[in-house]
Structure 1
Amino acid sequence: MADRHHSGLLAIWISLISNILLTILKIIAGALLASPVLLADGVHNAGDIIASIAALTSSMVSKKPADEDHPYGHGKAEVVASAFVAIILIVAAVWIAFQSIGALFEPPGEESWLALGAAALSLVWKQWLYVYTIRVGKTTKSKSVLATAYDHLADVYASLAAVVGIGIALLGHRYDWAWAAYGDPVAGIIVSLLVLKLGYEIGHEAVNILMERNVAPEKLSRYENLISAIEPIKRIDRVRAREHGHYITVDVRVGVPGDYTIQRGHDISRLIKQRIMDADSDVIEVMVHLNPWYAE
């Protein structure tokens, strides 16, 4: 668990430093080259810095052990950060759409090959960051790292739109395509829809976890099969499980013969807990309630 947490923190630190460097690069390049698309992308990247800081903070908080005020641990701090990233993505999508639509009603600006190179560099950099962080996020099961990865994916879309838009504008200038001057804002509108979809999906998952939604039915079925294989158990009354960021807690209610001793019941509870935790490394706590069962 400690190694997984360290890997997640490293991924977020790399993302934060990269976002700072890319923001500076895009804003300076956009201002010097008079490229509105690069300037807009740089401002959008500034929001990613805030998202990375939120992910970093939440990841550090989530590793704290359970205490008296937080008996289930601090794992949901990552989910809160994930929801925050979703909000940033949705705001960014609306802002990109607003800027792109406004550009359709203004005289098109002139793009340069240097602006295209800066956008291409951003595209390659962000694509690498996305591949790296999505791999780490899936390995560590960290919601904040996964949210950071999808934030990078949104930037991949934005950078791709910048490359396509600037490229079309350059080709249009070379071959006198009047319509090509508006390739960038059209690409921006398409990107805004993709980013909006990403923000919705991340936010929807975060809200479900914060609202204590059950884990996937496949996981619950797996837990039930493990429990039913334990011979003294006569009935499964209820199995529930919920995510707390990068880990899961399970609640189990089962029926056992009513004449069992407390010691026997205790041993059965420990066996249930051990079986589930051995089968699923994401589970860190299993609460077992025993109900008396009598043969009719």
Structure 2
Amino acid sequence: MQEVLDTRRRAGQKVSIIGALVNSLLSLLKIIVGYLAGSAALVADGFHSLSDVVTDFMVVFLLGISHKQADDNHPWGHGRFETLGTLVLAIILMAVAGLMAYDSLKLLFSGEIPPPPGALALAVAALSIIANEGLFFYTLKVGKEINSNLIIANAWHHRSDSLSSIVVLIAIAGAMLGIWWLDALAAVLVALLIGKIGLDLLLRSLSELVDTGLPPERVHELTETALSVDGVLDVHNFKSRSMGGQTLLEMHLQVAEHLSASEAHFIGDATSRRLRERFDEISHIIYHIDTYDDQEMPALDQPSFPARPEITQHLDAVLSRMLGELPDYELMIYYSPRRIDLDIQFNAEIWPLLSQQSLAAQVLEKGLHEELKGLNWFGRISCWLPAQGHHPLPD
């Protein structure tokens, strides 16, 4: 699992560093040219690109933390740092949007008519569109490959730059044609667009931080995969949550009533393996084995069942009365909602005891059933005897 996390981290850091370098050049170019050409929209777009540089390096830093191995202080891993990074990224986007909108509105209502921007501003806006679209598709591809919400959010940050540059391009062209207010108005529209993207990322991060479950269609895929494992009769009490691009699951697996604990555990492990093979974003699976659907069994219907010592005490007393002395045996206890079933495995010494009491094996099992049936928890009992050897079964 750690190898997968390291691969995700390296891929995410690489694309983020490339984005930081490209945005550094674009931000300087747009701010300088926008200032010299008198384009408020281009200057605002330049500061937007500068915010991308900050977030790109923040992403690099947070990926290094979020993909570290679990430790004593973070037993579930460090994936929440990635969610926290997405949250911070969203807040930065919304803050940038607010500042851009304020400055542009102030310019729009100042009454001053700025000189029209030149052709160089138009060329820089076009270059920004091309560069940011390239970054968007590249970053989004990597984000989906490594299933990182933080990288996907950063990709949309690049797309917001691209869209804002398109609006800026139109605004500059309009201003060059004499529509001076179009430049400032475009800057306000860009700010609203960036704010909307920031709000979406903020809500998505908060949803993850409060442990919102996976979408119903995803839950259906996961439960169907679990049900496809031999031995799994039902899946219930299914819980899911996301943490930094990883999925954590908890579920109850219902198996046959009289399976041994080791076989039931084997089925549970097989279910975990199949889920991880099909869904590689799963980092943790906790399963609970049930021999019945505990969702369908109201607590008030469950009697107060005895534990092994009390059950053994009842059996010892009955066997001693029936056989004259207590034989060695192994006891399997099967709890179900309304009864307890018992399997008794005797060793070879049972045969002389049966002979002494002139009891047949079937009579022993029937006698035990009659003695125990008055107990409110008793369901049924089965006796298992070894090969008879030199001790013939009495008639």
Structure 2 counterpart of 1:155 = 161
Which residue identity does 1:124 align to in structure 2?
I
Flag structure 1 segments of 5+ consecutive residues without an equivalent: 173-179
Deviates more, 1:152-161 or 1:232-241: 232-241
Shift of 1:134: 1.1
CA distance in 1, matches of 2:103, 2:47: 12
Q: Percent identity?
A: 27
Structure 2 counterpart of 1:195 = 194
Q: Does 1:108 align with 2:107?
A: no
Shift of 1:109: 1.4
- For residue 173 of structure 2, give the secondary structure of its aligned residue in structure 1: helix
Equivalent in 120, 127, 131 of residue 125 of structure 1:
131
Structure 2 counterpart of 1:14 = 18
Paired residues of 1:238 and 1:253 also in contact (CA < 8 A): yes
CA distance in 2, matches of 1:235, 1:46: 53
Paired residues of 1:65 and 1:73 also in contact (CA < 8 A): yes
Structure 2 counterpart of 1:58 = 62
Shift of 1:23: 1.9
Per-residue Cα deviation, 1:227-264 (whole angstroms, up to 9, x for no partner): 22334333323111211112212111123345332211
Which residue identity does 2:251 align to in structure 1?
V
- For residue 65 of structure 1, give the secondary structure of its aligned residue in structure 2: coil
Shift of 1:291: 2.4
Equivalent in 36, 42, 45 of residue 46 of structure 2:
42
Equivalent in 66, 74, 77 of residue 78 of structure 2:
74
TM-score between the two structures when normalised by the length of structure 2? 0.69
Structure 1 counterpart of 2:236 = 237
Structure 1 counterpart of 2:174 = 168
Larger radius of gyration: 2
Per-residue Cα deviation, 1:103-160 (whole angstroms, up to 9, x for no partner): 2213121211111112221221111111111111111111221111111111112211
Flag structure 2 segments of 5+ consecutive residues without an equivalent: 293-335, 339-395
- For residue 73 of structure 1, give the secondary structure of its aligned residue in structure 2: coil
How many residues in Structure 1 have an aligned counterpart in Structure 2?
289
Larger relative contact order (C-alpha < 8 A, sep ≥ 6)?
Answer: 1
Shift of 1:286: 1.2
Structure 1 counterpart of 2:141 = 135
Shift of 1:295: 8.4
- For residue 236 of structure 2, give the secondary structure of its aligned residue in structure 1: strand
Structure 1 counterpart of 2:183 = 184
Structure 2 counterpart of 1:265 = 264
CA distance in 2, matches of 1:82, 1:121: 27
Shift of 1:40: 2.4
TM-score between the two structures when normalised by the length of structure 1? 0.91
- For residue 91 of structure 2, give the secondary structure of its aligned residue in structure 1: helix
RMSD after superposition: 1.8
Higher helix share: 1
- For residue 152 of structure 1, give the secondary structure of its aligned residue in structure 2: helix
Structure 2 counterpart of 1:91 = 95
- For residue 221 of structure 1, give the secondary structure of its aligned residue in structure 2: helix
Moved >6 Å (runs of 4+): none
CA distance in 2, matches of 1:42, 1:189: 14
CA distance in 2, matches of 1:113, 1:231: 69
Which residue identity does 1:135 align to in structure 2?
K
Structure 2 counterpart of 1:144 = 150
Paired residues of 1:33 and 1:112 also in contact (CA < 8 A): yes
CA distance in 1, matches of 2:83, 2:131: 26
Which residue identity does 2:125 align to in structure 1?
A
Shift of 1:45: 2.4
Deviates more, 1:56-65 or 1:26-35: 26-35
Alignment CA distance shift 1:152-1:237 (3 Å): same
